Chains A and B, each alone.
Chain A
Amino acid sequence: DAGITQSPRHKVTETGTPVTLRCHQTENHRYMYWYRQDPGHGLRLIHYSYGVKDTDKGEVSDGYSVSRSKTEDFLLTLESATSSQTSVYFCAISESNVPEQYFGPGTRLTVT
């Protein structure tokens, strides 16, 4: 299995609080992605990164920001959590020039 970890694995937070999720990889892959997965929807891309300090928005980026200061770490921040952001968040990685992505174990976030 690819060396990808996510932390925390579970979190319950209140509406309006900031939340940061961390994705850490040991594969030295260039690309990293943040998705959310909700019932009835496919995985939806929030943000992705194509290198250190290089990030771009995905399909559902509103309310989320990201940072990548090191190759191995990709952080997802919810500036002010809302109940609509209750979801399972997956981080994924891929090498340059190949489309296959490999996923971390996910973070279950509940916003009350």
Chain B
Amino acid sequence: RKEVEQDPGPFNVPEGATVAFNCTYSNSASQSFFWYRQDCRKEPKLLMSVYSSGNEDGRFTAQLNRASQYISLLIRDSKLSDSATYLCAVTVDSNYQLIWGAGTKLIIKP
């Protein structure tokens, strides 16, 4: 079993819809959690850190479920520009090394 797993998608979603996807992790000692966005042939860019209490940034909401060992990303009122691959990353030790999921591809259709 991979340490961090994501549904590869693609998720095909109409513009304006709400979409959510999850990322599961296997190590219960994981400490920090992140969502990154990666556009085609570009570098990953930090989208959000995921806090225990959940956090929101505009149309984006991230949540952590430690009991079931997953994090989620919710995108409301999706825009064409939200089309990208969303990567999740978790740390498992004090060295802060990140373990990465393979990404979920999101396609927003007009």
Contacts and interface: CB of A to CB of B under 8 A. Distances in A.
| Contact count band on A | 20 to 34
Q: Chain B at the A interface: mostly helix, strand, loop or mixed?
A: strand
Interface stretch (A11-19, A60-68, A72-80, A103-111): A103-111
A26 B102 CA distance: 29
Contact of B43 (A58, A98, A105): A105
A70 interface: no
Contact of A99 (B44, B98, B100, B103): B98
Contacts of A94: 96
Interface residues of B, number: 22
Nearest to B103: A42
A50 B42 CA distance: 25
Given A99-B91, A99-B98, 15 more contacts: A40-B8, A40-B102, A42-B102, A43-B89, A43-B98, A44-B100, A48-B97, A90-B43, A90-B44, A99-B32, A100-B34, A100-B46, A101-B98, A103-B43, A103-B44
